[in-house]
Amino acid sequence: MAIIEKHKFQPNALARSLVNKKTGMIGVLFPDSSNMFFPEVFGGAERAAQKLGYTLFLCNTFSDYNRESEYLNLLCERQVDGLILMGGRINSRHCPPSLVQEVVDIQRKIPIVLINGTLPGHPCHRVKTDEYLGTKLIVQHLIDRGHRQIGFLGGSEVTTTTVEKLQAYRRTLEANQLSYRNEWVRMGSFSMSCGRQLMEAFLTMSNRPTAILCINDYVAIGAMKTAISRGLRIPEDIAIAGFDDTQLSSAMNPELTSVSQQSEQLGMQAMLILSKLIQKEKVTKLTVLAPNLIIRQSTQ
């Protein structure tokens, strides 16, 4: 011990990992650190990881398939013990089979958990919140508040989660004998500026919705800002709801009704399941978390 101290001996984890064949590292792919939803998820994952003795390797893919592939390769070379995947290809409808195959090949050697996504045609360990139910809850809430004209704003039709929400929206309307109208559904992206633009378009309509469900909090806030700048009161003149319940929704004024995906739980669960997979324990393939409707000022 004295001699360790004296020579300031520094253990080398690389050499140790080379022998042990485990690194204690978990690779985490996510699409965008500027969307608070993701930092929240890996906040939860990190907490769980610390308890389990793992350490996270976060990789911002910027939703770019190439970067995803690069990182995937990098993480394999670095011998991570497991992978958590979010966004990008696992949320893509029409995902090129080669990209799916890439993940499938890796999965043969390294345990993988997907958050809010799938690998079409291949069974996979997944953690997700029930976004269908979440959407249903919020549409029903709007209907219960007396709204009959409900719009849907943002997202992209090439994204599986958007399609799932859209379906829930449509079916919930129908279940309430309300008509689904194409012109009340506007897609684009997931950003605040998208929310602004799409809302502009809505406001020029003669017969516009009285309530709007947005694909996420960012789009909702963009929509709110446009509405407010046009002199509309929220929720009196138009009700607006978001999704994800990021910290933005409670920060806003008026505060934004949103559906919590339990982002931290999502990360924790994924990490928990991954650690079991690494220990070769049997784990349920699919873990579904219940969404949580958080009603705030923007809809009542």
Q: Return the number of other C-beta atoms located less than 10 Å from residue 210's C-beta.
A: 16
For residue 253, give both structure tokens.
């004024």
Query: Which range of residues in 14-22, 148-156, 210-218, 279-287 is near DNA by CB under 7 A?
Result: 14-22
Hey, how many other C-beta atoms are within 10 angstroms of the C-beta on 128?
20
Six-digit token string for 277: 């997979």
Instruction: Say whether residue 33 binds its own copies (CB under 8 A).
Output: yes
State which of positions 91-150 bind its own copies (CB under 8 A): 105, 109
Residue 286: how many other CB atoms lie within 10 Å: 13
Rounded to an integer, what distance in angstroms lies between the CA atom of residue 272 and that of residue 300?
Answer: 38
Q: Which of positions 187-226 make contact with its own copies (CB under 8 A)?
A: 192, 221, 224-225
d(CA 146, CA 270): 38
Length of the chain measured in residues: 300
Verify binding: residue 16, DNA, rule CB under 7 A.
Answer: yes
Q: Shortest gap between Cβ of 94 and its own copies (angstroms)?
A: 27
At 281, is the secondary structure helix, strand, or coil?
coil
Q: Which stretch binds DNA (CB under 7 A): 11-19, 108-116, 179-187, 248-256?
A: 11-19
If one asks whether residue 42 binds its own copies (CB under 8 A), the answer comes out as yes
Answer whether 78's CB lies under 8 Å from 23's CB: yes
Distance of CA 108 to the CA centre of its chain: 25
Distance CA 226, CA 185 (A): 17
Is residue 15 a contact point for its own copies (CB under 8 A)? yes
d(CA 290, CA 300): 23
Nearest distance, CB of residue 77 and its own copies, angstroms: 4
Q: How far is the CB of 85 from DNA (least distance, A)?
A: 24
Per-residue string for binding with its own copies, 267-296, x by CB under 8 A?
------------------------------
Among 6, 12, 206, 231, binds DNA (CB under 7 A): 12
Instruction: Show the binding pattern over residues 17-56: x = contacts DNA (CB under 7 A), - = does not.
Output: -xxx------------------------------------
Give me the helix-helix angle, 217-229 and 192-203, nearest 10°. Answer: 50
- Give least dist CB 19 to DNA, A: 4
Per-residue x/- marks for its own copies, 56-95, CB under 8 A?
Answer: xxxxx------x------x-xxxx----------------
Local structure of 238: helix, strand or coil: coil
Q: Is 43 in the site for its own copies (CB under 8 A)?
A: yes
Residue at token pair 């929704």: 249
Q: Which of DNA, its own copies, none does 252 bind, CB closer than 5 to 8 A by kind?
A: its own copies
Peptide bond into 39 cis (omega under 30): no
> Which residues contact DNA (rule: CB under 7 A)?
9-12, 15-16, 18-20
